[in-house]
Structure 1
Amino acid sequence: MAHTQISMYLPPDVNPTQAAIAYGCRALPKLNEELQSEDLLTRQKALMALCDLMHDPEHVYVAINIGCLESLKALLKDSNHMVRIKTTEVLCIMATHNVGRGSAGLTDLKFFQSCLSPDLQCPGVLACTCCGQRVKEGFLKHDIIAALSGLLNDPQTACRENLHLAFKHLAQLPSGALGIVSSGLVHSLVWKLQREEEKIQELLLDTLAACLLEGATEALNSRVVPFLKEKLLSGNDSIRSKAACTLIAVSIPLEGKKQVCQYDVIPILVHLLKDTVDEVQASAAGALMYATVTTEGKYAALDAEAIQPLLQLLSSPLRKARLNAIKALTMLAEAPEGRKILQVSVPTFRDLEMDASEAVQRAAQVAIKVIEWKP
């Protein structure tokens, strides 16, 4: 039977490791104050609560407006390892809110305009465009990238994993990738490929692949090609695939193409065309596509007998594998020796003109023109 006596115990659904969240608009300002507390337990509980709240882009928007980034930036230097781990986790969650995610639901013009107003909180729970953009701008404005880089050598694996995951999400946007490059971190990220655990190496490769599209000079000066060559031989399928993807970005500038030949990477890429993993095959073909633009690259690939494994990829179930293989073969057909070998394969390219992908169709048509060209 119900009675008026109040229990001395907390309700069963209350998490004792989290700070009590204030009601309404006071929730985040109160947590921000607790993040600056001198009491360790208070800081830890506030971070635990903030981790949950940051999954909502509306709260992310408000947190940036009230200065939470500065509080989190200070906590990255905290002497307590749990505080550093949870701080990097909060920043990692904030970085996942990318531009445009969920914005397809914004059909009300007034609602959209109110989201763009800097004086108003984002009124909906959708991950609208303004929230994602504000996160990236906030990270750059408050120099969070440089602050996170101070933990690259942190003894806690979870802490390093969180910061590399945050870098990966930031690099998905050109402004974030450019921010990482401008901070001079590419050299450190390249050298970390040699020392980090495999799970973190995968994150590093994703970050580098995006950053190198914004500028590969620093990475090339840091011997990124020999490091990637080593990763191409890894027993981890994901690392092999991501290393080949990163090599694509490295091979876009002329200096990158030269180093790929200089360090004898092309024979390894040709070997990966026969890999058991489709993604690895596609990425290797993509790297060859760029590396064979130069005459030196063409003849290095021909010497490594790249034509036959590339022809086999034309029947791959992956569209990008077929597309990359066609373009790589087109590069090889520009050399007289390659064009002579590919003459008998013209019917195969004609079949690809009926491919479901328009990009593959166009690439096949170009390949046929190059192969059938006569001086």
Structure 2
Amino acid sequence: MAQPHISAYLPPDIDPTKAALAFGRRALPKLNEELQSAELLTQQRALMALCDLVHDPEKVYKAIEIGFLDNLKTLLGHPDNTVRQKATEVLYLMSMHSVGRQGLIQNGVISALPGLLDDPVDICRKNIHLIFDMMAKIPEGAAGVLQAGLIPPLVLKLQTELDEILELILGTLSNCLRMEVSEALATGAIAALKEKLTHPSAAIRSKAAQVLLEISSHPEGKLPVCEEEVIPVLVSLLGDTDPEVQASATGALMFALVTPQGRASAMAAAAIPPLLKLVAEETSTARLNAIKALTLLAELPEGRETLLDHTGTFQECLDDPREVVKRAAQTAIRAIEWKPFCSRDLF
């Protein structure tokens, strides 16, 4: 089914070509003054001109130095939809540059954005989630999102946001939960993510599995993943038609199988056959994670017994050009062929 797309087009009565731009070094200071104008059209035109300028990192540096960010933070609460749209767009464009991201962090811009999570204008919400997603790609930005208390509202938004925005939220959560997961767990993130694993969009399925991978990589996240019965859903995604979904699901499954509960749940969900299929596919992006997951299942007697008939599949992996895959296959073979020590072996 076709999905509506968020439009960034402005109302027809707003003409950016009429914005007068001062010459040379006076351009940015003049725009900064116009942002504070009492005249709405002047503010709108200044913001549209600024959108063109901040594609240049040198202009971004100068804008931060002049003090644009304080004025932009003020405009985030403006009653005019166009002003909010263009103010958030300027901040997003600035966040695309390293100097811009550092400026946003140092000037507390992240903590000024949560008020727009419920903005009635779709493009405004999309812009702030573009900012969160971009900022979370660096450790300081991810820490800023966590410190701003944004994880609980972002998790709640998984239930209500448009698909375009949902992808951005999942990207932000993936980077932030790499650092800390307790708030997400307390807000019911696993149940919300489990639902997204069956979403019609492959991108959303993949990103939801990636967030679960980050959660299950933490000690406190492994057991909840098992208790919420996420593992059978992850196993079902091993046969997904999208390679990225397969890879993310296999990675999340691999981390969850570290616990005895995870291994038991995976065995009950018949995880071995689809994992072996991924191992046998030379071009599979999930091959490495699948090998590691099967190595963990080989720690169970029933898992080892099943895998003994498939050591040839792992032997074929020794021809893989990637050294890390070869080492993982060797480890898997040793785990599968391991035999319990018996005192009678001494005689």
TM-score (norm 2): 0.91
Unaligned runs of 5+ in 1: 1-14, 98-131
- Quick one: distance in 1 between partners of 2:35 and 2:280? 57
Structure 1 residue 19: Cα displacement:
2.2
Structure 1 residue 319: Cα displacement:
5.2
Q: Kindly tell me: are residues 371 and 317 of structure 1, through their superposed partners in 2, closer, same or farther at Cα, counting changes over 3 Å?
A: closer
- Quick one: distance in 2 between partners of 1:78 and 1:358? 56
Structure 1 residue 17: Cα displacement:
4.2
- Quick one: distance in 2 between partners of 1:168 and 1:46? 26
Residue from 245, 268, 280 that aligns with 1:303: 268
Aligned to 1:231: 196
Indicate whether 1:323 and 2:288 are aligned: yes
Tell me which moved more, 319-328 or 157-166.
319-328
Aligned to 1:64: 64
Aligned to 2:51: 51
Kept after mapping to 2: 8 A contact 1:234/1:240: yes
Kept after mapping to 1: 8 A contact 2:280/2:313: no
Aligned to 2:95: 95
Q: Match of 2:116, SS? A: coil
Q: Match of 1:52, SS? A: helix
Report Cα offsets for 1:127-162 as digits up to 9, x if no partner: xxxxx1x32222122111111111000000000000
Aligned to 1:340: 305
Residue from 185, 209, 214 that aligns with 2:179: 214
Aligned to 1:165: 130
Kept after mapping to 1: 8 A contact 2:202/2:245: yes
- Quick one: distance in 2 between partners of 1:32 and 1:317? 57
Kept after mapping to 2: 8 A contact 1:193/1:204: yes
Aligned to 1:41: 41
Q: Kindly tell me: are residues 40 and 331 of structure 1, through their superposed partners in 2, closer, same or farther at Cα, counting changes over 3 Å?
A: same
**Which stretches of structure 1, 4 residues or more, deviate above 6 A after TM superposition?**
none
Structure 1 residue 27: Cα displacement:
1.5
- Quick one: distance in 1 between partners of 2:140 and 2:335? 38
Unaligned runs of 5+ in 2: 1-14, 341-347
TM-score (norm 1): 0.84
Kept after mapping to 2: 8 A contact 1:18/1:49: no
Aligned to 1:122: none
Structure 1 residue 204: Cα displacement:
0.4
Q: Which AA in structure 2 matches 1:82?
A: T
Q: Which AA in structure 2 matches 1:342?
A: L
Q: Which AA in structure 1 matches 2:301?
A: P
Aligned to 1:364: 329
Indicate whether 1:79 and 2:44 are aligned: no
After superposition, residues 272-283 of structure 1 pair within 5 angstroms as 272-283=237-248
Structure 1 residue 315: Cα displacement:
3.5
Residue from 96, 102, 108 that aligns with 1:137: 102
- Quick one: distance in 1 between partners of 2:18 and 2:157? 34
Report Cα offsets for 1:300-357 as digits up to 9, x if no partner: 0011000000011114465531111111111111222111111122121121111122
Indicate whether 1:183 and 2:148 are aligned: yes
Q: Match of 2:285, SS? A: helix
Kept after mapping to 2: 8 A contact 1:208/1:246: yes
Kept after mapping to 1: 8 A contact 2:295/2:335: yes
Residue from 200, 203, 207 that aligns with 2:165: 200
